[in-house]
Amino acid sequence: MAEHRTMQRGALLDAARSLLSEGGTEALTFPALAERTGLARSSVYEYFRSRAAVVEELCAVDFPVWAAEVENAMEQATTPVGKIEAYVRRQLDLVSDRRHRAVVAISASELDAGAREKIRAAHGGLIAMIVEALGDLGHEQPRLAAMLLQGSVDAAVRRIELGVAEEPAVIADTTAAMVLRGVQGVPD
């Protein structure tokens, strides 16, 4: 019985990921979850008391996976500059990864305090890694610089999500250049 409940909970989370990927948080409704999973709407409420509870669980499950992907990319780099570039590029690569579309949709939405706290906790681990790399570079304000750097990444994520004129690779290259070299851009 417990295994069946776990499977249904997993199916609900998968359906939630699909709905978020397709239509953002507005698309994540209990009737839509019920329709996607074949469960009665009342059954959905047995697993999650609210839409916010679904989002919170997705944050708890999916954000650590995202963070681990970024951390792994950073660990492959051998210099502080390489770590910073890996931090930027891996996050932007993950935006176009189907498995991570729900994370992007959640991040872009208005969330309740519980979900925001879970996202902050997951991002906190990422920020700590980038603070260390900036400190290794001798930055005088590594924590502030890390927050500004993440702001650049977040802006690039939104630009990719909008499907604007530039290709995601161009957005990633430009973001990495800005983060690494400031507004001077790529050297000739």
Q: Are 7 and 43 in the same domain?
A: yes
Q: Are 18 and 74 in the same domain?
A: no
Q: Are 77 and 130 in the same domain?
A: yes
CB 52 within 8 A of CB 112: yes
Task: Residue 14: give the domain boundaries.
Answer: 1-48
- In whole angstroms, what is the distance from residue 119 CA to residue 103 CA? 9
- In whole angstroms, what is the distance from residue 51 CA to residue 49 CA? 7
Q: Are 61 and 89 in the same domain?
A: yes
The model scores a pTM over 0.75: yes
**CATH number (domain holding residue 56):** 1.10.357.10
Indicate the burial class of 6 (C-beta count within 10 angstroms; 0-12, 13-18, 19 or more). exposed
86-134 residue pLDDT tens: 999 999 998 877 666 677 666 666 566 766 676 677 677 778 889 999 9
Q: Are 33 and 62 in the same domain?
A: no
Q: Are 179 and 96 in the same domain?
A: yes
130-153 residue pLDDT tens: 999 999 989 999 999 998 998 899
Integer angstrom CA distances of residue 115 from 14, 17, 159: 18, 15, 23
Q: Are 161 and 99 in the same domain?
A: yes
